[in-house]
Amino acid sequence: MKLDNYVLGKWISGDGNGQALYNSVSGKQIATATTSGLDFGDILQYGRKQGGPALRKMTFHERGRMLKALALYLHSKKEEFYPLSYATGATRVDSWIDIEGGIGNLFAYASLRKQFPNETYYVDGEAASLSKGGSFIGHHIMVPKEGIAVHINAYNFPIWGMLEKIAVNILAGVPALVKPATVTSFLTEKMVKEIIASNILPEGSLQLICGSARGVLDHVTSQDVVTFTGSASTGMALKAHDRVIKEAVPFNMEADSLNSSVLGLDAKPGTSEFDLFIKEVTKEITVKCGQKCTAIRRILVPENLLEDVQIALGKRLEKTVIGNPETEGVRMGALAGKSQLEDVKVKIQELLKASEIVYGTLDLVNVKGADANKGSFMSPVLLRNDDPFNKTETHTVEAFGPVSTLIPYSTTEEAVEITKMGKGSLCCSIVTNDKKIARDFVLNAATHHGRILVLNEECAKESTGHGSPMPMLVHGGPGRAGGGEEMGGKRGVMHYLQRTAVQGSPTMMTAVTNVFQYGAEQPEPVKHPFQKHFEELNVGETYITHKHTVTDADIVNFANVSGDNFYAHVDATSLDGTIFEGKVAHGYYILSKAAGMFVDPRKGPVLLNYGLDEARFTKPVYPGMTIGVKLTVKEKVDQEKRSEDDIAKGIVKFMVDVYDETGETVALATILTMVKKIDQSS
């Protein structure tokens, strides 16, 4: 069987025989994969011209809802992917991480839509004042790039690797071309066939090539984004591609790294933290046969506990049943293929220059439900390096399999130094219940790690563990790890958006951003804003209230009602040495009075006021001063109906500008109101 490529709106098999792909458990051939005959230039252009415009027409909310629909669809099909996943050597647990973990990323980024406006663009940060008189300001907007995301993925997670990336670029409004590692691309192909069959994504927003991608980077442009996951050497070669450099193409690299886990000085045998450490390290050695970019390669242990840890790990690793992932009781499957198995053994030989094997073997192992000669099986291997500062292969050579090295250390400072010898990693962990040890380690080690887990008994039950990247946190690391960032919530979406500084008058900036900018035109509506539905309100329209003169009685009454008897409000004899000229009105009284002045008491489309943002008291208000309020529609945020019976509504942010008789602002705040829509179908 020849794998298909999904390009140019159709499934196409490449020319010729292609690369043979094998079941890593049985050794039998599954398929062949080739991209021969495909025109990568045409494929990239198709994504830019077909998928890009369709995605950019959609708002963040629409794209997020689309991701949610896709996640629900794939979740209903999840069991169909497991049988083929077993052929990659993955156990049920391994496959769950890949399949359902990948689908979980879609759900996570679908939910992230709520942090973006229901617009095709994003307004970033606050406006910057660029002139003394306030007539010239600047702002940043972010719009989807007009290119295509080229994802070059690793073989270890053929589904998660794809879904965690496309979730981000699709939410951003950018199409993707996915190039999975060929050896396990048969599983990626099956997932993409389901995605295309769902008809949920716009045509051209996702394309797939199974086989060699040699030459694809010859066609990238400055509007494209390239992401790479895999070995550091391959990533560096791609990053240095002439076209990538000449076009200044954004390149995000996530490379395999020599990650560390540290047993804290306090975590002695008999403590919960010691047991947690042994469990976590064992898991990271055996899950996915250690074929994870986040797997623990270096195990740092207080020198006086090295023997205890070695014995405990050996006992736990002995319980690992190796074999066919579909056989009951098997805890560790096979590596992805024979070439991966041979590569791991070669790397172990290099590591043996600095270490010795204290558990495991390089010989054939006993396996359950399979033939050890035909499959790509190997034993977990635990090495030990007693001289990590002089025998440095441990910090430079990675065996990408169930292999890890025990390393002694004497102080927390020394542990930090040893972790840094890996020259940058994706993740690191420390198991400790000592706050000072945790703080000292994290703050000093952070420069060399993309993520640090502090694990103890308190968080153990809910911790996702050392090796699990999370959608809302960045996944990447400095130095050897590639210097990139993936996922990371909103941060990840920003990689696919162009940030542009826009300058002009407050009125023009309001028109461009659809967010009211202070100093812009404020047309007065005929109808009170609280009597208008969501669709009828316009950003910038301003209701000006009647005036009120603040009295001493107002201040006294508010103090009695609120219980706020702070001296500046109630004791005129205590004001010497303060900034106040006399008893001053409570800031919250000013806002409360402002609400009484701008609220329309009649029943109308406003359902409720549910929040107050950015409240500032900018000038003292004394008895005898007169205040008024300008209530301005600052921003409108669409909301989705949670059910057919739900009321169609949106959130309107009103700017409350309280000013005195001189026209100077005394208080400024943003209130959030829930406003009913005219159209109850949306």
pLDDT one-digit tens code per residue, 413-454: 999 999 999 999 999 999 999 999 999 999 999 999 999 999
Task: Give the whole-angstrom CA distance, residue 361 versus residue 347.
Answer: 14
Q: What is the pLDDT of residues 525-545, one digit of tens each?
A: 889 999 999 999 999 999 999
If asked whether residues 281 and 214 sit together in one domain, one would say: no
Tell me which of 119, 164, 189, 254 is the catalytic residue: 254
In a domain, 417, yes or no: yes
pLDDT for position 374: 92
pLDDT at 638 over 90: no
Cα distances (angstroms) measured from residue 387 to each of 258, 360, 406: 17, 21, 11
pTM for the whole structure: 0.88
49-53, 121-125, 469-473: which range is least confident on average?
Answer: 469-473
Residue 654: exposure state from Cβ atoms within 10 A (0-12, 13-18, ≥19): buried
**Is 1 a domain residue?**
no
Is-catalytic flag, 254? yes
Catalytic residue among 164, 210, 280, 293: 293
Q: Is the pLDDT of residue 141 over 80?
A: yes
CATH number at residue 547: 3.10.129.10
Provide the pLDDT for residue 427. Answer: 94
| Residue whose tokens read 């509504």 | 649
Domain residue limits at 628: 522-676
What values do phi and psi take at 452, rounded to 5? -130, 125
Q: Is residue 646 part of a domain?
A: yes
Q: Is residue 344 in some structural domain?
A: yes
What pLDDT sits at residue 15?
79
Taking the C-alpha atoms of residue 24 and residue 324, their distance in angstroms, rounded to an integer, is 10
Environment class of residue 193 by beta-carbon count within 10 Å: exposed (0-12), middle (13-18) or buried (19+)? middle
118 and 146 share one domain: yes
CATH number for 389: 3.40.309.10
What is the tens place of the pLDDT at every residue in 481-535?
A: 888 888 888 999 999 999 999 999 999 999 999 999 988 999 998 899 999 999 9
Going by pLDDT thresholds of 50, 70 and 90, the confidence category of residue 13 is confident
In a domain, 570, yes or no: yes
Per the CB < 8 A criterion, the answer to whether 10 and 211 are in contact is no
Q: Are 126 and 138 in contact (CB under 8 A)?
A: no
Do 605 and 541 lie in a common domain?
A: yes
pLDDT at 184 > cutoff 90: yes
- Give phi and psi for 457, each to the nearest 5: -60, -35
Active site annotation includes 126: no
Q: What percent of the chain has pLDDT over 90?
A: 76
Confidence band, pLDDT 50/70/90 cuts, at residue 467: confident
Tell me whether residue 368 is in a domain.
yes
DSSP summary character for residue 49: I
